[in-house]
Amino acid sequence: MSDRGQNTSSSAIPAQDVPDRVPPASPEAPLEPASPEVPLELSASDDGDSPFSLTGRPLTDETEEDDTAGRPRKARTVVLTSLLLVSLAGASTLGWFGWRVNSQRQTTLSTPSTIGAFTLDDSEQATSTADYLQSALSAEIALDKAVGAVYNSADKRSVLFFGGTTLLWSPESDLDSSFDLVADDQGAVSGLKEVDAGDFGGVMKCGVSRSTDGDMTVCGWADHGSIALALFPNRTESEAAPLMRDLRAAIQTR
């Protein structure tokens, strides 16, 4: 048989080595997240050329807190300082008031036989009048001890005195109330005004009781330990006020 009758390939292609497995493609490296852009903050500029400038300060919640956190702290500091000052002032005032009360409460009243030009009237009528007046005052104010006396002078113008000792928290208010006792039997005391209380301090006032029998000056004093009134028939206020201080200096002791 002729070779031309056989089907043969014109040329042989050499076989290439094909790998059994194709190696997997190397994984791509993960993309790193882009760094966040720092927001720009608009702020006032001091250069005088541009009213505003951009800064790279991040605007976060912490930034806003930094801007506002100082204000409440300052407010609390101011409030606490004010409270401290008020407390100190209150303590100082309370201490001074307590010292004054304590220094005035330890007091006694007595009725000596003579006070300057005045002599104690120990007659039955004078004693009865003094007892009545001190009892009326004791009914108005709870007194620890009450005293009363009638003093005569050389010019025959007598003075009726009555008072007592106790702790008084509001001396002036108690003194004003005691003047109403005189109005029960005499004319109401009018024209009350404060006068010099003398060395013992406290408050002293004088007024006038007007009646058909004539005008009578009424003076009284009060402090945190005592209260007293005196009736000065046929005497003016300018005469009675210094006499009241003389009576107090002789009758009251601390």
Cα gap 5→230, rounded to integer Å: 172
pLDDT at 91 over 50: yes
pLDDT of residue 187: 74
Calculate the average pLDDT of the chain.
77
Chain centre distance of CA 16: 109
pLDDT at 1 over 60: no
pLDDT of residue 230: 97
pLDDT at 51 over 80: no
pLDDT of residue 2: 45
Model confidence pLDDT, tens digit, residues 165-211: 999 999 999 999 999 888 755 678 999 999 999 999 999 999 999 88
Cα gap 54→42, rounded to integer Å: 5
Residue type, 73: R
pLDDT at 53 over 80: no
Residues 6+ apart with CB under 8 A from 119: 113, 151, 152, 153
**Region 56-73: what's the mean pLDDT?**
53
pLDDT at 12 over 70: no
Cα gap 148→37, rounded to integer Å: 98
Please report, rounded to a whole number, the percentage of residues in the chain having pLDDT higher than 70: 59
User: Per 3-state DSSP, what percentage of the chain is helix, strand, and coil (rounded to 5)?
Assistant: 35, 25, 35
Place of tokens 């608009």: 42
Cα gap 144→114, rounded to integer Å: 25
- For 104, 158, 186, 209, the CA distances from 213, given in Å and listed in that order, are 38, 15, 9, 10
**Region 81-100: what's the mean pLDDT?**
60
Among the residues of the chain, which ranges form H helices?
Answer: 61-105, 124-140, 171-185, 237-251
Burial class (CB in 10 A: 0-12, 13-18, 19+), 249: middle
Place of tokens 């009060």: 222
- For 56, 129, 238, the CA distances from 195, given in Å and listed in that order, are 78, 27, 10
Q: Which of 225, 187, 227 is nearest to 207 (CA)?
A: 187
pLDDT of residue 42: 42
pLDDT at 103 over 80: no
